[in-house]
Chains A and B, each alone.
Chain A
Amino acid sequence: VSAALLAPLGLAALAALLVPLLIHLARRDRQRPIDFAALRWLEPRPKPHRRPHLDERALLVARLLLLTLLALALARPALLGGRGAGTWLLVAPGADPAAARAQAPKGAQARWLAPGFPNLGQSAPEEAASISSLLRELDADLPRGARLIVAVPAALQGVDAERPRLSRDVDWRVQPQTAPPAPPRPPSSPTSAHAGPQAPTPDQAADQAAVQTLVLRAAPELEAGARYVKAAAEAWSPSATAAAPDAGPLSAPLPNAARAIAWLAPGPLPVAVRDRVAGGAVVLLPVEATVDGLGPATPLWRDAEGRVLAEGGGLGRGRWRRFTRPLTSEAMPEVLQPDFPARLAALLSNPPPPPALVEARAYHPLVGAAAGSPSPQDLTPIMALMVAVLFAVERWLATRPQRADTP
């Protein structure tokens, strides 16, 4: 732990120390003269030895201390390396704290690998947080010599896609699985953008089913393009005997259960459809539709040249998707491709959650990051308290009744 000044120029305020010194020196001349009739026998010294004389030493000392502390407070003192060196035992939620403690050396600082790094004596933190981020934070805060032991369960939740890179080697202790892994985190908000439609994963089967009940409503001038969408929806059906997709003109009523709506009409989205989207449905729009007021759009589908074919965004609890080209084979040859139904299904389905579950053994942090400078601990509140106490002392000294004279 070392002390430092964050604003060393504040020490210039130390010049104010001269003021109380001058005040206490100047009192000599304001002294009341002493009546002394026997003055004629007082020999005036030719060279009076003018020794600087300070009155009220205690008060002067209090005032000097007060000003020094104020100047120091202005210079913003801070303690560097607030967390001590030594051995740190970090237990990730899900790992067994008792087993981790048994393996760690005596005297190690035992903490949960959770925001705020609570003591291991407390109950296991509920909140799941990014273990990679926590590791990086602690690594940056710890002084250079500190040794880090991290006890993790066999499977880790909430990690980055990359192995973390720390400034020190970490004693990475993987415990055998004891508790069932926490349920996967809820998907991030629908507005979050992702790389692009991917092949459906088994996790998304339910979502896929919702997409299969696509309700198609098309304006007469867009009937031609609607054929491609309808064909794709028919292609999703598991068997040929299944019912044909619900397709019709714009005036046809929307079934209540519709989770996916293809609203192929120019102009703005009607309020009724918009409410459906806000309620959790996904809507597919043609390039002719205007999307003002639907929020920011993100490219979702690019062709081989990188040109955007479809974009989309979130609206309430639902999502909207819009083609950026007319649904014709000339403008958008992809509609003729055999994978168009799968692409369309991916476009309409929920984005997959990022991979966050990893086997702990494979997640041993790498070494080689630049060592972070530990964040300084600001001492200003302590200084303010000391200044207040000293001020009270100074006032008491200055106003106590047995004082002889001003100032």
Chain B
Amino acid sequence: MPPAGPPPLLPPDVRHRLQGLKLRARRAAGSASGIHASRNRGAGLEFAQHRAYEPGDEPRLVDWKLYARSDRLFVREAERESPLTLWILLDASGSMGQADGARPDWTRLDAAKALAAGLAQMALAGGDSFGWATLAGDRPHLLAPGAGGRHRDRLWLELATLKAAGGFPSAAQWAPLWSRIGAHDLVVLLSDVFDPKTIDLAGRLAGAGREVLAIRLLTVEERDFPFRGAQRFRDPETGEELPGDGLQLRADFLRRFGEARARIGAELDTRGVRHVEYVLDEPLDAPLRRLFGGKA
């Protein structure tokens, strides 16, 4: 159940639309170890324990052989290890704090938090475990993968206090990620991917056998550049300022930014990172649907 907090991290309608979606990893899907989405209890891979029968347990779960030996009813329980672990990499650098002038309370980071909550919701629905790391400042902050509602609550709690500040961590500070993110894990990166270091991180994770997905968050102003008249633009991470006339800068910016988007996309493609773009005025489930919906 969502906590009765002031703004729910995940709006109910988005939560509803996400119900039909399942996390899907290309490598996991169709592999010999079975479909990770299966929740067939008892047909698990590894025996866990016997426990006493309680009314309501399915008869087929009863260990009849043991009953024959001991004349008592026991239920076989299997601990099913999920074949899928989801890692949510949340970029919390200063550029993520950018919002549109028309909607100043909806920053890129807010959208990323909501997407993270949605991903956690999907993992929870699929019985998959999930962990997360926030990337900002000196070193990434990690929480080990886990499953269940309480782990989800922990995620929500941490996201509630997360602020966008600082720059993207440099390559030397990525070490914890290498040790914690296991091979064949599913990694979803939520970032604007403007920083080449972000591309580098995603590319190296993908090159090391993880399946990496990236959701590139763009603001409406970056897509449309609706500025008129004299403005001062400031880079939130470097503090660099650039004065200019909105109309004059527009055409050139749209051209150069379009090229940059295409180049970043191409680079991510080259390095084996699946990616989608999400602009802040789109519905929240759109990027997830593009990533995990359909046959993919």
Query: Bound state CA distance, A44 and B99, in angstroms?
Result: 22
* Cβ distance B251 to chain A, nearest Cβ, rounded Å: 10
Inter-chain pairs besides A37-B94, A37-B98, A53-B229, 6 sampled, C-beta below 8 Å = A28-B230, A37-B192, A37-B222, A37-B236, A40-B235, A45-B248
Instruction: Find out whether the CB atom of B235 lies under 8 angstroms from the CB atom of A48.
Output: no
Query: Bound state CA distance, A377 and B230, in angstroms?
Result: 49
Q: Which of B192, B233, B245 contacts A34 (CB 8 A)?
A: B233
27 contacts between A and B (CB under 8 A): A28-B230, A34-B233, A35-B98, A35-B99, A35-B236, A36-B234, A36-B236, A37-B94, A37-B192, A37-B235, A37-B236, A38-B222, A38-B257, A41-B253, A42-B233, A42-B244, A42-B249, A42-B253, A43-B249, A43-B256, A44-B244, A48-B244, A48-B248, A49-B248, A51-B245, A53-B229, A53-B230
Count contacts on A: residues with CB < 8 A to the other chain.
Answer: 19
Check if A33 is an interface residue, CB within 8 A of chain B.
Answer: yes
Contact with A along B32-62 (1 / 0, CB 8 A): 0000000000000000000000000000000
Q: Which 7 A-B pairs have the closest CB atoms?
A: A37-B95, A33-B234, A39-B235, A36-B233, A33-B232, A41-B256, A41-B257
Number of A-B contacts (CB under 8 A): 78
Interface centre among B233, B237, B252 (most CB of A within 10 A): B233
The majority secondary structure among interface residues of chain A is: loop
Check if B2 is an interface residue, CB within 8 A of chain A.
Answer: no
CB neighbours of B221 from chain A (8 A): 34, 36
* Cβ distance B239 to chain A, nearest Cβ, rounded Å: 10
Query: Bound state CA distance, A336 and B183, in angstroms?
Result: 157
* Cβ distance B76 to chain A, nearest Cβ, rounded Å: 55
B window 220-265: CB within 8 A of A:
221-222, 227, 229-238, 240-245, 248-249, 252-253, 256-257, 260
CB neighbours of B244 from chain A (8 A): 42, 44-45, 48
* Cβ distance A77 to chain B, nearest Cβ, rounded Å: 38
Instruction: Find out whether the CB atom of B230 lies under 8 angstroms from the CB atom of A33.
Output: no
CB neighbours of B222 from chain A (8 A): 36-38
CB neighbours of A33 from chain B (8 A): 232-234, 241
Instruction: Find out whether the CB atom of B230 lies under 8 angstroms from the CB atom of A39.
Output: no
Check if A31 is an interface residue, CB within 8 A of chain B.
Answer: yes
Q: Which of A34, A40, A45 contacts B234 (CB 8 A)?
A: A34
* Cβ distance B100 to chain A, nearest Cβ, rounded Å: 10
B window 103-133: CB within 8 A of A:
108
Query: Bound state CA distance, A374 and B92, in angstroms?
Result: 82
CB neighbours of B230 from chain A (8 A): 28, 31, 53
CB nearest to A38 among chain B residues: B222
Check if B194 is an interface residue, CB within 8 A of chain A.
Answer: yes
The answer to whether A34 and B227 touch (CB under 8 A), given A41-B256, A45-B244, is yes
A interface list, Cβ under 8 A from B: 28, 31, 33-45, 48-49, 51, 53
Instruction: Find out whether the CB atom of A44 lies under 8 angstroms from the CB atom of B194.
Output: no
Query: Bound state CA distance, A36 and B253, in angstroms?
Result: 12
Instruction: Find out whether the CB atom of B229 lies under 8 angstroms from the CB atom of A35.
Output: no
Instruction: Find out whether the CB atom of A39 lies under 8 angstroms from the CB atom of B256.
Output: no
The answer to whether A39 and B233 touch (CB under 8 A), given A45-B244, A45-B248, A48-B244, is yes
* Cβ distance A71 to chain B, nearest Cβ, rounded Å: 31
B window 7-39: CB within 8 A of A:
none
B interface list, Cβ under 8 A from A: 94-95, 97-99, 101, 108, 192, 194, 221-222, 227, 229-238, 240-245, 248-249, 252-253, 256-257, 260
Interface centre among A37, A39, A49 (most CB of B within 10 A): A37
* Cβ distance B274 to chain A, nearest Cβ, rounded Å: 23
CB nearest to A55 among chain B residues: B229
CB nearest to B96 among chain A residues: A37
Instruction: Find out whether the CB atom of B249 lies under 8 angstroms from the CB atom of A39.
Output: no
The answer to whether A36 and B252 touch (CB under 8 A), given A42-B244, A45-B244, is no
Query: Bound state CA distance, A45 and B233, in angstroms?
Result: 13
CB neighbours of B231 from chain A (8 A): 31, 34
Query: Bound state CA distance, A36 and B243, in angstroms?
Result: 12
* Cβ distance A304 to chain B, nearest Cβ, rounded Å: 98
* Cβ distance B288 to chain A, nearest Cβ, rounded Å: 23
CB neighbours of A39 from chain B (8 A): 233-235, 238, 240, 242
* Cβ distance B263 to chain A, nearest Cβ, rounded Å: 11
Query: Bound state CA distance, A100 and B132, in angstroms?
Result: 109
Query: Bound state CA distance, A99 and B240, in angstroms?
Result: 93
Instruction: Find out whether the CB atom of B240 lies under 8 angstroms from the CB atom of A34.
Output: no
Query: Bound state CA distance, A140 and B201, in angstroms?
Result: 98
Query: Bound state CA distance, A43 and B259, in angstroms?
Result: 14
CB neighbours of B235 from chain A (8 A): 36-37, 39-40
CB neighbours of A48 from chain B (8 A): 243-245, 248
* Cβ distance B189 to chain A, nearest Cβ, rounded Å: 16
CB nearest to B254 among chain A residues: A41
* Cβ distance B199 to chain A, nearest Cβ, rounded Å: 14
* Cβ distance A244 to chain B, nearest Cβ, rounded Å: 114
* Cβ distance B54 to chain A, nearest Cβ, rounded Å: 56
* Cβ distance A48 to chain B, nearest Cβ, rounded Å: 6
CB nearest to A44 among chain B residues: B242
